[in-house]
Structure 1
């Protein structure tokens, strides 16, 4: 890559996630040359002023590039000006592919925070081979969706001292007391929009996956059973539901890659989310049912997008969450892993165990401000890792899920360095 290129350009920097990525870049990208890009110079300059004041650093000399999704030449020109594009401009279903295509053409790496399985798997289907040929890494799900889950499984396997058969994850999130009582945790409008269209087009996934993975993974026993729709988890003492986000699909893409690449026994995984009471869990089921039904029809989607606060129970709005609520929002993801001790390892990874698992490991990934602190730190940390440790990444390029890309790097250590990073810890090892 040309010497005059910047290390990083943050695309979509004037958006909600983009501006907080600019703020975190001051520390995470310290020592690197970075710039920002978007459609409107005035808005980009405003972000630099606002986030510079917040970070107590003069950002006025930060390079600005004008690039617009509707102008593919501008995207290509932007991609040619850096080594990696950090893409915060969603929904990626509508805006992601043109940026990915421009980056591959320019020989520039690309990371984003998509939690949209249809987009991620379509990009792998269409661009994986070309990315390998160009020596480009394209990695999605590099935010709260789904770094804690995917890299959490990596952390589990590194500390298990044996063979992992299955992992169950239990996500908890809430708001610490204090601060402005009128604020609450929430989602910005772009995240809500992505969820609406993602669910509306969820039936596309089967066809995409049949093309992407024409041969199914072999079954490994014992099979991990699904829990009931609503259940009390003894692992976290919460009422739990299946987690509807992208975590499981991302983890299984990584496990599929590691099986194909390294012949490593794939870890089975189910994801759940916990609530404080049966009433809270039942209310979520009710909201989710209404949301799912409405998303299937044009008039329903129109209403969901026009009145996000009403149909999300106050969690989503066009204004997005306040800084106070973001800073007080915490998350904990607990992992229950079962498998066999190192002394019981079989000769080949494809061999089947005849005895049930004998070993359990409990770990936790936790942090603050998951949507716009931990997400932005994780996104920038993946970019930093590609720039510093591409020699530890597979195949000299490709369209990959996070653990497939970063399982042999020091990404977890990088995530643990920062105020809005993530803590990885062992809770119990039996």
Structure 2
């Protein structure tokens, strides 16, 4: 993909692991409170297609200097955040200590309208169960997907929240009774992805290719 990348400590990793843990405990997914027979079959088929995975998040950029800036910003925040005086400095001068990444004033409307986000997902795995079960076998298939959309904080986040709320209102019987679950565990089999695509987000499969045995 022609980019520099570094591992990023992220809550996303914990959430994905929690989802996979839920799937391990409930291989057919979480049953709805009053789901139809058709949806029950759909839910089971959906979760049957989900396989165990190791997941991690990386920050990527075509410029190495951008990653260096992010790295030093993280170090500054981490060190100063340990002390009350340091936290006071961060709150008073966020723009200085984050090299302009954060500031007291929010973005302008023009900045929000011109912004966008892109997330790439690079997955490596096995083309069939037989190969995966062989001792010492290595992944032989790679797939790259991309999720993109408008500015992530002020535009995309409200879109996602509103569509999740609409699913809750219109499909309550197909959803679990309640509890502390990850979004994927609840909304995975629903039509949430279609709703998001209809409201400005894009989900693409960029490439699928075999991996060499070497």
1:300 corresponds in structure 2 to 86
For residue 139 of structure 2, the aligned residue among 340, 347, 357 is 357
The structural deviation recorded for 1:345 is 2.5
User: Gaps spanning 5+ residues in structure 1: where?
Assistant: 1-235
1:283 aligns with 2:69: yes
1:84 corresponds in structure 2 to none
The structural deviation recorded for 1:378 is 0.7
| CA-atom RMSD in angstroms | 1.9
Contact 1:392–1:408 under 8 Å retained in 2: no
For residue 327 of structure 1, the aligned residue among 113, 126, 129 is 113
User: Gaps spanning 5+ residues in structure 2: where?
Assistant: 29-49, 210-214
The structural deviation recorded for 1:399 is 1.2
1:376 corresponds in structure 2 to 158
For residue 271 of structure 1, the aligned residue among 25, 49, 57 is 57
Contact 2:19–2:185 under 8 Å retained in 1: yes
Contact 2:143–2:207 under 8 Å retained in 1: yes
Contact 1:338–1:361 under 8 Å retained in 2: yes
Paired positions, count: 186
The structural deviation recorded for 1:352 is 4.7
Q: Give CA deviations for 1:114-154 in whole Å, capped at 9, x if unaligned.
A: xxxxxxxxxxxxxxxxxxxxxxxxxxxxxxxxxxxxxxxxx
Q: 1:353 to 1:251 in 2, by over 3 A?
A: farther
1:391 aligns with 2:173: yes
Contact 1:393–1:408 under 8 Å retained in 2: no
Runs of 4+ off more than 3 Å: none
Q: 1:353 to 1:407 in 2, by over 3 A?
A: farther
SS at match of 2:194: helix
2-structure distance, mates of 1:393, 1:352: 34
1:244 corresponds in structure 2 to 9
| TM-score where L is the length of structure 1 | 0.41
Q: 1:353 to 1:332 in 2, by over 3 A?
A: farther
2-structure distance, mates of 1:402, 1:423: 18
